[in-house]
Each structure stands twice: as C-alpha cells, then as structure tokens.
Amino acid sequence: MTIERSLPQLTLLSAPRALAMLALKFASLSLTLVLLSFTTDVFSRPSPRGLLPNSISLFRRPKVSRPAAESSMFAKAQRHALIRKLLGPATPMDASLMTYSQNNDEGYYVSVGLGTPSKSYYVILDTGSADLWVTGQNCTAEACAQLQKFNTKQSSSFKGLESQFKVAYADSNVDGDLGEDTLTVGPFTIQNQIFGSFPNAMDDPDFVAVENPVSGILGLGWEADADSRAIPFWEYLAKSGQWKMPLMSLHLARSSGNSEQDMEPGGTFTLGAYDPALCTGLIYYNYLTVTENPSKWTLPLAGILVDGKLVIAAGDTTIPAVIDSGTVYIYGPRSSIEEIYQAIPGSTPDLDTPGSWLYPCDTNVNIGISFADGVKWWPISATDFLADYVTSTMCRGAFMVTPQEVEALHPWTFGVAFMKNVYTVFKYYPPEIGFAELSATALAGSG
C-alpha cells in the first residue's frame, strides 16, 4: 500500500482506525511540494499528485421515489444486469454489457464527442465494463425518440468493421455493429476508436438500455475485459503518454433528492490527474488483486463494520471486490449479506425481491469498509445504505446478494452506494486504486 500526503493547505480529517486483527503490515508516505518530492520510507512507491487536472463535469438524474412494486422491479433488473456484466461473453462475438435505468439518482454520465464533424453524446461512466457503445440511427424504440443517435453516414471519419456486437440483457439481446471513428473526451481526441452502434430494438420493453438524455455507455475497464476486443480510450491515453500521470479519478456527488431538473450536476471525472480541491488528507493506494494483465478494477476486501462491530473479516483469505461506477448497489455472498443484516435489528429478507433485505427506516445504519491490509476504514453513510422506501416503515438496504452465477469469480461488487462516500483514483501503472476522504468542496456538491 502507498499512502500519499495531501498538499499543506488541505485539512486532514480523522477516521476510525483498523482493528488489531487487521493491523498495518507496512505503509509508506510521500510528500509532494511544488515539483520536488521527498520519500520518507524505503518501501515507498511514487505517488504523483495532479497539478493541472483535465476535469469533466458529471451529470445525474435526481433521486425519485418509487412505489414498492417498481422498487422491487428495479432491484431485480440491477441483479440481472450484474449477472450479464460479470459473466462476460459466451462466445468471442458475444458482449455482455449492463442494462441501466436512468429513473433513479445513480446514473452518472458525461458528454463525449464522436465522429467528424463531432457530435455530442451523453454516456454513462462505467468502471465495471470496458467498451464504448452508443445508440444507432435505426433505433425505433420509444426511449430513443429524443436521444442523440449516431448516424454513420453523417461522419466522414467513420469506418465500419466486419464484426457484430451483441449485448445480453436479462430477457433479450440487442445486436449491433462495430466501427471506428474519432472520439473526444474532454481535451483529448482519439483517432480510430472502436465502438459499438446499436439499434436498441429489444423484444422486452421493460428492459431499455438507454433513456433520455443518455445515449450509451463509456467503459472505463481494462482491455482484457473488452468484449469488442478494443483498447479502451483511457488505457490508450495512459499508454501513449498523453496524460501527465497514468491515472484518472472520480468524484460522484450525492443527489439532494429534491431537484426538479431532468439532470443535475453529479460530480467530476478527471483525466491524467486527480483534483486536490475535491479530496483531503491522505490518498490510500492498494494494488489490484491481479496486477499482470488485469481485467477488472478489483481490490482485496479486508473487512466490514456495521455500527462499529466487525461482521466480515478476510483474515489471510483474498476476497476480490470489484469497484464499479456502473453498478448501483453493493453485492456480496449470501452468508456475508445475512451477517450484515443480522447485525441490524428488525431486518428481514424481502421475499418479493430475491437477494434483497428490508430493515426499519428509522434505523441509521453506518457501515465501514476496509481493503487490503485494513489500514483505513471507509464509511458508507446511512443515506447511501438506504436504497429505497418499500413501505412507510421498512426500507430496502443497499447491500444485496451476489447472483450465484457470478459469485465464484466476483463475490463482491462495490457500486456507487460506496463510491459516493470517497474520492476514487484509478491508476494504470502500477495497477492500483486509491481512496481519499472528500473535501469540504466535494461535500458541498452532495445532498
């Protein structure tokens, strides 16, 4: 683990210390002052600080209240989506991307440019997948009526590829074509970026891949996980040296819950750096569970606290946990999820929604998460633990059971219910994820 000290003017916030059984094995500190760095520990690895961040504003849907039946349907859809995403392609020509509803406060998306002349498309940022796709001009679904759709004939730089691309949904499939074109993300332009274009002609109208204003998904995963076999744009930029530092960072803001806007500011996506104005204190880096040719942004889980009580402890066992901005909730093995809710009085399984639990809405549940050596505990607020109001007294918790189909490979997935509570840095080399506490500036932008 590498620990990086903040700039002098930033305020260090206190946080709970790890339990003795998860004690620090080793730690290192690096202090960055202007352009000079001084290493205080022989175990240190370089931990550069961003100087001039290339930041892109995120947008999000405001949080909405859902009836019990709709809440159950949404939770089931997210479970199906996780299965399709984590199982991967069934054949070399099959792709498995997530179905995502924007009728909630968990869709984080940015505007990117595609084609010549460049046209803007809103796409969801998804660290749990590695492909770029947008809705094609032949989309006839009602959801596509107001969307920006990609028209191959209107881009002089488009090149079609002799390849099909299939997205597997819970109950239906969507076929599309692969092509190459010019992609612009913030100040960076990538020529000949491979992406998928889909007509979105699905058999089941209940599963719609996109909804206004979102036209597609921008995968921020690794090339090894790309169903299109394409190099993700961020990995190309990191490899080619176009970034000052080989990393990108995310601040996902929490919705105020009372906005009447169709979309509202949702945080910041920073390329080639991280924004010191959005984080404070130390940045705690941990190596991925797989550092040679990684496919997922996966960390070893160390432990979970419920209201200060240790309920999950990895010990000497490596428990992989995917950090996924494209997944709404947090998923874990059934036995672990049961232990978590057993520590919350009044909790009960939701018989109408397999894998989900209900708990008394008037209970403020505070969760702590630790990764790798257990040096630092990261909080999940009671606000983010509450996924939905199901009745006037019972609420759905954000921790749900990982589908049995994917549990062996990916037992834990930490979605935005966790990520809203931290500033997250994804590093290309060495392959690491870093977390930091949110600054006052970042917290001011959250509900």
Q: Which of the residues are catalytic?
A: 126, 324
Long-range contacts, 29-35 (Cβ 8 Å, 24+) = 29/3, 29/4, 29/5, 30/2, 30/3, 30/4, 30/5, 31/5, 32/4, 32/5, 32/7, 33/8
User: What is the dihedral sign for C-alpha 286, 288, 292, 295?
Assistant: negative
d(CA 347, CA 360): 7
d(CA 232, CA 194): 8
Phi, psi of 416, deg, nearest 5: -70, -20
CB contact burial 176-190 (16+ within 10 A = b; e otherwise): bbbbbbbbbbbebeb
Task: Give me the half-sphere count of Cα atoms (radius 13 Å) on the Cβ side of residue 80.
Answer: 20
